[in-house]
Amino acid sequence: MIRTWRPARSPARSGTAGRRPSAPVTHTLIVLCAALFLAGPAAGLNPAFGSGEELLAAQRSYFHRWGVVPADLFTGAPRAALTPLTALFVHGSWVHLLGNMLFLYVFGAMTEERMGRVQFTLFCLGCGYLALLGYAAANEDSTQPLVGASGAISAVLGAFLFLFPTARVTSLLPFLLLLPLRFPAWVVLPFWVAVQWVAASRAEAGPGVAYLAHLVGFGLGFGYAWARFGRRTRVRSTRAPAPEGENKP
């Protein structure tokens, strides 16, 4: 989901969980990320960025300008301090974009309705910023740009797990021939976290998926939901279709 690069509405209740929650912030974030991707060089559709080597150079420049470069982040430069925010809206490939937006679409709607629009917006931006900041702090010498909304989306997954632990989640498991199976969120999302943990422990330096940012974001999201809503206001739900796993560009 995240990649590093080389070159107050009323809460949803079980009786209403079958309908699709109103989620204008979620939908706006999806449209904004998609529009920026299509207009940028990563999509390869804008002739203003040229083609071939010229396009590759434009992509590298674009990711370095708007993505997080850990080696530059802690220099005190104001522009660098903003990059954990701007990087949330930058994606490196079609698979990267579609994977992130799929997770946001599925898990964001119910979480947004439970939190409310303003709180959900600040939650996504704040947790996304801190997730990228955490990754940069752990890789402070890296010069590889980091882009993607996965830190924020992982926070949404964490909050979803706390708020809707019994929601039924549709999962596609590779070792079961990608058969769609439905499990409670308390089964699927901890499994997703375990996959991220194992992948993070085996990750090598260089371009790839920033699994550590996923873990930081998930922890922030779960912790925020626990602190903000507490056990007494946890919502039970039975319907929340979603895929499981990681869409790795």
Please identify every residue annotated as catalytic: 150, 214
- CB-CB contact of 150 with 67 (8 Å): no
